[in-house]
Structure 1
Amino acid sequence: MFELENALDEYLSHLRIERGASPRTAEAYRRDLERYLAFLDEQGVGSCDAVTPEIIAAFEKRLAEEGLATTTVRRRISAVRGYHKFLVREGLTASNPAEAVDIPKAADVLPDVLSIEEVGRMLDAYIDERPSGLRDRAILEVLYGCGLRVSEVCGLDLDNLHLDDGFLRVFGKGSKERIVPIAGAADAALRTYLAEGRPTLARGTSQGNGADAQAAVFLNQRGGRLGRQSVFNLVRKAGRAISRYDLHPHTLRHSFATHMLKGGADLRVLQEILGHADMSTLQVYTHLDRTHLHEEYAHAHPRDKM
C-alpha cells in the first residue's frame, strides 16, 4: 500500500507543477483518490500491479450504492483513470486497469441560463456610482459579456487588458492562456471602473497589499485583489433584483454561451472564447440552441400551425 500512497503524492505534484492545476483542484483530487486508496486497502490490494478492472468496477459500484450523485461518481472514476495513467507513464505498472471501466453516463441536465431580457433587467437595475459599485457593474458586465469564469475575473491583471485592440488575455484552467474579445457594454463598464473607480480603491494598496494588488484589475475596499467569494456574493445580490435567488456566476457564463449561439456564433469560435479543450463540452449548448430553433420553427412554419 505504501507504493500506491507514495505515488499519490507524486501524482498530485504532477498535477500542480506540470498540469498547472489550482490548489483547490489538487485538493479535490487528493480527497477523491484517498477515498479510492482506502477502498483498495479494504480489498487487500497493496501494489499497483494488483489492481484489476474488476476492483475498480467494484469501487464504482460502492460509490453508487452510497447514493452519490452521478456527477460525483464520474469525477471520482475520472480521477482514478488519470491516476493509473500516471502510474503507467512513470513505469510503476505496465497497464491501466481503469481504461476497461466505463464511466457512468452523465444525466442530460441542461445548465440554468438567464433570458436575454433577464440579463438586461439585472444589469439595468445595478446602478451604484461609488467606486465599489462601478467595480461591481464592470464585473457583472465582464462575466456575462466575455463568458469568463470567476477565477479568471479575479485573476485579471492590468497588463492583461488590451481594450484599444478589443481583447483580454485570460488565463484559464491549467493556466492556459487565451484571447477573449471585449466590446460594447462590458468594454464601457470596465473603462469607467478603471478611470473612476479603481484609482480610489487602489489607495489602499500601500497598506501592505504588495505588487499583486497593484497589478490586479479588480480590487476590494482595502486595496487588495478581489476574492472569489466577493464575486459570488455580488452575483447573488444582483440576481435578487430579478427574483433569481442563489444566482451563480457560472450561470452568466452559460447564458453568454447560449445567447451567442442563438445570435449565430460559430461553435468553434465559441469554443476558443470559452477556453474548452474538447468540443464535446459544448454539446449542452447545442442542445439549448436546437430547442430555440424548434421554437422558432413552430412559430414561423405555416404547416406547423395546421
Structure 2
Amino acid sequence: MTDIIPANEYQALDRADRMIIAGQAANQAAQGAVFADYRSRKAPNTLRRQDNDLAIFARFLAQVHLSPGDLANDSQAWQGITWGIVAAFIQWQLRAGYAVSSVNMRLSTVKVYAGLAALAGVIPAGELAMIRQVKSYKRTEQVRLDDNRAAAGVPTRTGYKKALPVSLSKKQAAALLIQPDTPQGRRDRLMVALLIGLGLRVGELAGLTVDNFTLTDGTVIFYRPKVDKIQTHKLDPISLAALRAYIDSGDAPETGSIWRQSLKGRGLDSCGLSTRAICKRIRYLGERIGIKGLSPHDLRHYWATQAARNHTPLDRLQDAGGWASLAMPGRYVEAAKIANDGVRREE
C-alpha cells in the first residue's frame, strides 16, 4: 500500500478507507499483469496467429505515422488507439487485398487486446465500447465486397492460402490411397489414410509418435491444441491396414515421431516431418493424379463432408473433428442437406 499512501497514514484510516485503498492497490497490480496473464493461458498456435495479426496492425500504424510499440505485451503501446483507427485499419487491409476472413480475424484480435488495454487502464471504457462496435463482415457482405473489389481491380486475397478448399470425389480419395509398395509409398499411404479417415489437422498429423498408436486395439491417442484436449480415436480399417504395413515392413522408427523423411532414392531417412513438408508432399500426391493445389486441410474437409452426408450427429462430428463450437461442423451438416428434399410436386 505504500505506493499509494505512507504506511503510518494508512494505519490511521478507518476500515472503509483502507478497503478503498487496498482495492486501488490490487487494481494496479492486476493492471500490470493483465497482458502476461492472458497470454500465459493461450496455446502457442493461438499466440502465433495473434502476434501475426498484431504485426500487421503495427505495420498499418507505422504507415500512418503512429509509432507502434509492443502491442502483444505492453499495454502502453495501446495508448491513443481509438475506434476510428481500428476502422481505418480495416479499410487499409481491404485496399491492400487481404482476404475478408483474415480482416475479420485481425479485427477480433485487435478487440481482444484493446479489451486488455482497457483493463490495464490505458484505453478508456467509453473508447473500448466504440471499438467493440466496429463490425466484422458477414458472409453475404463478404461476397458483395469481393465482387466490388474484383470489379475495381483490387486483389481479394494475398499470400498462398486458398479461398475455397479443393473438393474431392470418392474416386479421387480412393486414388490418393493407392501408393507404391515402397518405404516412401507405405508412409504416404498412412499419411493420406489418417487425414481422410480421421480428419486430422496437419499439425496433429505431424505431431504423431510411435507411442501414440496401439495396434492391438487399433487406436491412436493424440493432442489437439485447438481445443486443448487429448483424444483417443479408433482407426478405420484402411488406416489400420496402412499402419500395419508401415510398421511390419520396418519402415516406421522404433521410437519418436512416426514419420520419416524422404530420400531421393525413394527410401526413408531420419525421423520427423514438419507441417510444411507434409503440405508439400500432399500437394505432390495430388498433382500426380491430376489434382492441383491439394492440401492436408482439403482431406480433412473431405472427411467432414463425408461424415455429414452419412448423417453423423452434430455433437459427434464436433467432438471427432476437434472443434471448439458447433459452428464449423454445423456448416458441413448444412451443406450436406438436399435443399429440395421433401418438396412435393403435383404429378
**1:274 is matched with which residue: 321, 336, 339?**
321
CA-CA distance at 1:232 after TM superposition: 1.5
Distance 1:215 1:81, change over 3 A: same
Distance 1:102 1:164, change over 3 A: farther
| Contact 1:160/1:168, CA 8 A, preserved across alignment | yes
Distance 1:283 1:174, change over 3 A: closer
Matching residue's letter, 1:84: A
**TM-score when normalising by structure 2:** 0.69
Matching residue's letter, 2:113: Y
In 2: Cα distance, 1:305 partner to 1:259 partner:
33
In 2: Cα distance, 1:83 partner to 1:183 partner:
43
Q: Is 1:102–2:156 an aligned residue pair?
A: no
Distance 1:166 1:36, change over 3 A: farther
Q: Is 1:256–2:280 an aligned residue pair?
A: no
What RMSD in Å do the two structures reach over aligned CA positions? 3.2
For structure 1, which runs of at least 5 residues remain unmatched after alignment? 1-6, 204-213
**2:166 is matched with which residue: 102, 112, 116?**
112
Matching residue's letter, 2:107: I
**1:167 is matched with which residue: 219, 223, 245?**
219
Distance 1:197 1:29, change over 3 A: farther
| Contact 1:150/1:228, CA 8 A, preserved across alignment | yes
For structure 2, which runs of at least 5 residues remain unmatched after alignment? 1-30, 70-75, 144-162, 262-267
Matching residue's letter, 1:34: A
Distance 1:223 1:43, change over 3 A: closer
Q: Which has the higher contact order (CA 8 A, sep 6+)?
A: 1
Residue 105 of structure 2 aligns with which residue? 75
**1:35 is matched with which residue: 59, 64, 69?**
59
- Higher helix proportion (structure 1 or 2): 1
Deviations 1:254-276 (A, max 9, x none): 00000001111111111111111
CA-CA distance at 1:80 after TM superposition: 0.8
In 2: Cα distance, 1:44 partner to 1:141 partner:
46
Distance 1:83 1:44, change over 3 A: closer
Residue 227 of structure 1 aligns with which residue? 274
SS in structure 2 at match of 1:117 = helix
**2:85 is matched with which residue: 55, 62, 65?**
55
Aligned residues with identical type, % of pairs:
25
SS in structure 1 at match of 2:168 = coil
CA-CA distance at 1:84 after TM superposition: 1.4
Q: Which moved more, 1:102-111 or 1:134-143?
A: 102-111
**TM-score when normalising by structure 1:** 0.77
